[in-house]
Structure formats: structure tokens, C-alpha cells
Structure 1
Amino acid sequence: MSRSTVQIVYEELLARGYTVTSRRGGTRVNNWNQFTGKRKEDTTPLVLQIPELPLLVDQSQQWFRSKDNRESAIDFSPYQPYVDTQFQETWRKSYLNASSELNVSSWSYGDAYGFEPLRRQIQRYLSLERGIHVQTNQILLTSGAQHSIDLIAQTLLTKGDIVTVEDPGYPVAWMTMKYRQMKIAPVPVDEYGLVVKKVPSKAKLILVTPAHQCAVGVMLSEPRRQQLLHKAAQQRAWIIEDDYDSEFRYRGDPMPTLFSQLPQNCFYLMSFSKLTAPGI
């Protein structure tokens, strides 16, 4: 037998743990008793429980229900922009043009904050359209609002903190905070938006959709905005401003963002899926 074949077999046996070697002791068969010998162990099965995950997933699926096999004269389901074959053709052409200009480095791991040219465009858009003037390193790209809210919860909150949500409001925000074991404090919404005076004084985080309340649709009035900003500053609370579809309005200019008035207490969220298509 060839010496190289023997050498390869020895190396394979060693790599798989069948043999052990020492510098001057040569090669010998491993002592398998230490692995296969019967030991008295606790036979109690280890059960890992992820709190309420199946229920949360089912609720989320019901809210963002699929469009497959559904027919309707008018579709009132939320968070779904108008997508047709014209959109698909436009997207396909744009994708082909963009992909033809990619270089090899584009397929490697990118910036942890997100694609830098895209963040520059977002920076420009926010400055011109929403009055938000920030640096690109203040912009973080995530997979969606739920991802953003979860990151904020991990960073700023601890178990048992009081989080204020709109009632009715964005259900996934409720689920995310509940999953992180926060105390949820629902606050009612009327024709002027969030009823700020009912926000608990010990709330650490306030989630609000001021431009177009989810799902009532009202706009947070200017007096309520000022009341909310004052309250957040007074009790050192954070505001999550979900500006998810402020681009859609029938007339007039958009309302100023909460972030532009109190940036040190506010996180600003916006979503491309409401402008283009959630499937992206």
C-alpha cells in the first residue's frame, strides 16, 4: 500500500477522533469508554419554552394576511400599497439596470448600518421632505418597523418597564413589547389622536403614529403634539414616532415630525414597504 494512502487514513482517523497521538508516544486507539460508558444522568427532559411565540406569529399572520386566493371588489386591508403588473415591469427594469452596475464587493458583507448610498438618499429625503436634519450615521436600515421596535426595546428597556401604545393601534408593536416582557399600557385614541393626558407618568416609552393613526386614521392635532413633547421631556420618556405613510395625503403640506421638534427624546421610523411593496 502506498505510504501516502496510509498517511491520509491516519489523518482521517485522527480528525474523526478514532485515534489520539502524542509527540513520542505514537498513535493509539482512543479510549471510547469515556464517551460510550453509561453514566447516571438526570433523565428529566429539558423543555425550552419561547413565550407565546406561536400565538404571536398566528396573530401577525392574520393581520398581514396573504393576498393569495382572495377576490374583492375593493381591498381595505392595511399596509398594502397598490401593486399591479405595471409596477412589476418597472421594478424588473430598474433591478436589471442596477444589478448591471454592481461590482464584486457589492456581494460581500456590507455596512452594519445599511447600504451607505441608500442612507445618503434617505438623509436627503428626510431633510427636504420631513424637516429632519441628521447625519448618515444616525440612520439605521432594518428589515421593518417590528425589527426597529425590537432593537429599541433591547437597547433602552428592561423587563417590566411601562410602555404606552395606542388603543386601537399597531398590533405588532404590542406583540413585540409583550414578547420582551414589558408592561403594556394602552392609551385611547379619539378624533384628535392619542389622548396624551392618559399616558402613565411612569411610562418609559411611548409608541405613536401621529401622521396617520393606525388604524383609526386620524392625525395627531397640534395641541396634542405639544402636550406629548412636553410630557416626554418632563418625565424623561422616549417617543417612537412611526411615520409609516405620511407621504399619502389628499391636500396640503405634511405636518412637522415630532423628531424635528424634540430629537433628543425621539426615534423616527419610516417604511419603504408602504411606498413600494412589502414583498421586497
Structure 2
Amino acid sequence: MELSIPLHPGSPLGRQIFEGVRHAIRSGRLGAGDRLPSTRDLAEQWSVSRSVVVTAFEQLQAEGYIAARRGSGCFVSPEVAAKAPERPAAAIDLSRYGRHLSAAPSEGFVFPATRAWRRYDFAYGRSDVADFPFARWRRLLTKHARQASTRELDYGPAAGHPSLREAICTHVRRSRGVSCEPSQVIVVNGSQQAIDLVVRVLVDPGDAVAIENPHYQGTRAILAASGARLCPVDVDEAGLDPGKLPPSARALFLTPSHQFPTGGALTMARRLAILDWANRCGAVVVEDDYDGEFRYDGQPLESLQGLDGGTRVIYVGTFSRTVFAALRIGYLIVPKALVGVFEAAKWLADRHTAGLEQRVLAEFIDSGSYELHLRRVRRSLATRRDALLDAMDTTWGSTLRTTGAGAGAHVVLWLPASSDERRAIDTAASHDVGVYPVSGYFLRHARPGLLLGYAQMTLPDIREGIRRLATSLSSG
């Protein structure tokens, strides 16, 4: 191991070494029983005479900080290390951004690894990895790793690898009705970074920003941390009501294809009304196409970005749901006038998204493997959805209302207004069923309900999970 101690000319080197090692022990950087490097190695590391290091070590040994063991070297004395005074941690003032993060709802920062998973877990926001062609993916990954040149292992373009930008552009033009060129595609680390970059580039502290009510908490947390003034706009089964949009809003963030969390799809009339509002008010619309690839009832409507022609709408997409979440690749499609500033923002944030995975994903799309996988997943999710709806209909009939079944991979089971949502969730957990609250996604007029995802559940588990949930709700 190396022992880093800065040495300065003008002061006796032996004294500096003695005080540096002593400080490392007192501060806890060197713990009880830690073996110190040899005096020969330290003399070479610090470019000093070995005798200088030996003298410093002799003093440390005399004062009881270290102990020498014949044939083994010098070690930190347990007695002294145990008695080393602990310094109280000095308070560190947070920035405005940090203070907003500290004040943000804790539900927005629940990491999956910290969840207590249940045997029958209706977790939402997960990808259907059971049907993913991992063998094909591994072959592509190995191929591109072997073929990667030295230049390709260096920093790449901030906006993403050209092959992936081209592949994304072709895919969204064909499947989502997006109007764009490859140069407008900015590859990012998932939709969360996409939203963060949009807020950094376009939203100032104090700006009025319209968001859906209820809404995706990841967007809310980013906006709150930026100091934006949030303007909630209520949604119904047809999505956000454009008649309630504030004229002073700088931007609007929404999920039109499968509103999160309620699951409504924005009608064409409302899409056009929102674009009219944006043009009249000079606002930017951020279209988060959450679960837009998974629609079961009717044909998907054209994207807001495509309807607008790409002048006032920024389109956000991700592969976290369609490939797998750990891939961490998403994208922005921005107006041509904003390409340069978003490239600069991405470069400042983290230079670029991992290049090897970008090239693998590009070939995965271009070869047709991605589209084949999407068709397979749609069929699989539709089968699971039908099983879930059948089980819920058999259990509750019209007693409890469900929304969001037309697309995506979750539904909302709305509870009676007087229900204790938290108690319902805890009671379900006692039956080894995982369900999740919807009320925390509201900024106002919260209603109790349960989010039930089904992307990673088997058909028998769906049926048994609903049976147990019904038992828990009736007993609670």
C-alpha cells in the first residue's frame, strides 16, 4: 500500500513524516493493526533517505503509535488507535439545489435495492427481462468488444454514437410518428438524465412549470431541486386537461401515451389543444413517451412532437422498459435550434453515454432484433394484463374501479375515498403481496389507490397475488 503524506521543503523531513503518520493514526485513516509500508518502500515513494524514515518510525514507536514485529514490519498500535480522539463532523452548508433535494419527498428516492420484495410482488416500472434475447445480446456485445479500436475506447461524441442516433431516428419516425433527423437525437443515460438536462437548459429558479397531477415523481424531484414553481394540472381518463393550463408556465412536462401513474391516454383533441396553448404562450412541451411502445387497445396516437413538427416539443424516450433498466440508455429529440446547447450540457454532465453499449444497441435495432423483441414483449404483457384484469373482475367486479389497462405494464386499483391506503399496503404485505401507493404522486386532491405492475409476474402468481390481496383488503 502507499501512504500519502505531502512533504514540503523548508521544514525537517523527518518531523513532517512523524507528524503525517501520527495524524493518519489519530484521524482514523490508519486503523488499529494496519501494517505500514516498509521504510525502504516509503523512502523510495517520498524520495528521501531511508535513514530519515527510520528516525521518524523510531520516534513513533517510542511514543507508542506503532509497534515493530520482527520479520513482519511495523503496525499501528491498537492501544493508541483506540484512544485516538474523534473529531466531530463539521457542518457543511448545502447549496439551494442540495436544500431542495433534502426537502423533496422521500418517495422519489426509493432505490429498488432497498425495497422489501414480496413473494407476490406487483412492482411497477420494471422491464420484462424473462423474454429478452440475452444470447443475441451477448454475441453482439462480444463482437463489438473485440472489434473496438483504440480510438473507439477514447471519449466519443457527447450527443451519442452516430450509428445509434441514426437507428433511434429511424425507429421513432416509423413507430412513434416523430419528425426528426439523426442530428436532433441526444443519447443520454436514461430518461431521468434526459429530464434533468432539459431542466438545466430551459428552467430557471422561480419559473412556473406545469406538471400533471398526479405525476412522475422523478420529474417532480428534478424540478423542485431546480427551484421551479410547480403548477399541477389535474388529469382524468383522457389525460391532462389543457383548459386548465396556466398561461404563465415556462414549460409543460407530461406523459401523453400512458399517463403516469393513472394510465390515461391523451386524446387527439387534447394533444392539439396543448400545442395551441404552447404556441400562444411561448411554452416548451416536454413529451415523456413513457410506455409508448406498449399499447393494447386501438392504434397509438401520433406523438406531440410529430404533430408539432419539432419546434416547441422535446421528446424523451428510453430503453429501460423495452430492453432492461441496467442498460441506462435513453434519448432526447430536441428542436434543431437547441442541439448545440444540449450537446454542451451532456458533455458537461458526464461527457457521453457508454460507447460500447451504444454500438451494440444500434446493431440490435438495425438488425430487426429490437422490433422482434418488442412484438414478443407486447404479446407477453397483453397475456399478463388479461390475466390480471380477469382475476380482478372475478374478485371485485364493478366494486372497485381500475384504470390504465390500455397500455403499459401496470394498472391502478382505486380504493374508496375513505380508505387507509397505507394500512391496505401493510396488510397486503402481511399476506406476502407487494402493492404500492398512488396518493404520493399527487400534489393536491390526492386519492387512495394501489399501483399493480405485472411485467415480471407469472400468470399463476398474478392470480394468487390477487386472491391474497382480496383477502387482505377484506380483513383490513
Taking structure 2 as the reference length, what is the TM-score of the superposition?
0.47
Q: Which residue of 2 aligns with 1:141?
A: 187
Counterparts in 2 of 1:143-158, with a 5 A limit?
A: 143-158=189-204
2:154, 2:104 → 1: CA distance? Answer: 34
SS in structure 1 of the partner of residue 326 of structure 2? coil
SS in structure 1 of the partner of residue 189 of structure 2? coil
The reply to whether residue 92 of structure 1 matches residue 138 of structure 2 is yes
Match of 1:255 among 284, 297, 301: 301
Q: Which residue of 1 aligns with 2:229?
A: 183
The reply to whether residue 70 of structure 1 matches residue 117 of structure 2 is yes
1:120, 1:248 → 2: CA distance? Answer: 22
1:223-265, Cα deviation, whole Å (9 max, x unpaired): 1111111111111110000012211011443210000111211
Higher relative contact order structure (alpha carbons within 8 Å, sequence separation ≥ 6): 2
Contact 1:196 1:227 in 2 (8 A): yes
The reply to whether residue 61 of structure 1 matches residue 109 of structure 2 is yes
Match of 1:103 among 131, 149, 152: 149
1:146-178, Cα deviation, whole Å (9 max, x unpaired): 211221122122110001111111111001000
2:181, 2:112 → 1: CA distance? Answer: 36
Match of 1:18 among 9, 12, 28: 9
Cα distance change on mapping 1:85 and 1:188 into 2, 3 Å: closer
**RMSD between aligned residues:** 2.6
The reply to whether residue 275 of structure 1 matches residue 322 of structure 2 is yes
Counterparts in 2 of 1:102-251, with a 5 A limit?
A: 102-251=148-297
2:171, 2:117 → 1: CA distance? Answer: 36
2:249, 2:123 → 1: CA distance? Answer: 31
Cα distance change on mapping 1:125 and 1:108 into 2, 3 Å: same
Deviation at 1:68, TM superposition (A): 7.1
Deviation at 1:210, TM superposition (A): 0.6
1:174-203, Cα deviation, whole Å (9 max, x unpaired): 010000000001111101100111111101
Deviation at 1:89, TM superposition (A): 3.9
Cα distance change on mapping 1:226 and 1:112 into 2, 3 Å: same
Cα distance change on mapping 1:69 and 1:182 into 2, 3 Å: closer
Contact 2:100 2:224 in 1 (8 A): no
1:138, 1:247 → 2: CA distance? Answer: 21
Deviation at 1:46, TM superposition (A): 7.0
Contact 1:202 1:235 in 2 (8 A): yes
1:155, 1:252 → 2: CA distance? Answer: 36
Contact 1:167 1:188 in 2 (8 A): yes
Cα distance change on mapping 1:270 and 1:48 into 2, 3 Å: same
Q: Out of 117-126 and 75-84, give the one that drifted further.
A: 75-84
Q: Which residue of 2 aligns with 1:6?
A: none
Cα distance change on mapping 1:67 and 1:276 into 2, 3 Å: farther
Amino acid at match of 1:47: I
1:70, 1:88 → 2: CA distance? Answer: 24
Q: Out of 214-223 and 250-259, give the one that drifted further.
A: 250-259
Contact 2:207 2:229 in 1 (8 A): yes
Cα distance change on mapping 1:85 and 1:199 into 2, 3 Å: closer
Gaps of 5+ in 1: 1-14, 20-44
% identical equivalent positions: 27
Q: Which residue of 2 aligns with 1:10?
A: none
The count of corresponding residues between Structure 1 and Structure 2 is 242
Cα distance change on mapping 1:46 and 1:189 into 2, 3 Å: same
Q: Greater helix percent: which structure?
A: 2
Contact 1:126 1:132 in 2 (8 A): yes
Deviation at 1:93, TM superposition (A): 3.0
2:131, 2:264 → 1: CA distance? Answer: 32
2:290, 2:147 → 1: CA distance? Answer: 31
Contact 1:245 1:271 in 2 (8 A): no
Cα distance change on mapping 1:94 and 1:70 into 2, 3 Å: farther
Contact 1:166 1:208 in 2 (8 A): yes
2:122, 2:105 → 1: CA distance? Answer: 22
Amino acid at match of 1:267: I
Cα distance change on mapping 1:199 and 1:86 into 2, 3 Å: closer
2:132, 2:223 → 1: CA distance? Answer: 38
The reply to whether residue 48 of structure 1 matches residue 93 of structure 2 is yes
1:228, 1:84 → 2: CA distance? Answer: 38
Q: Which residue of 1 aligns with 2:388?
A: none
Cα distance change on mapping 1:154 and 1:67 into 2, 3 Å: closer
Larger Rg: 2
Amino acid at match of 1:175: A
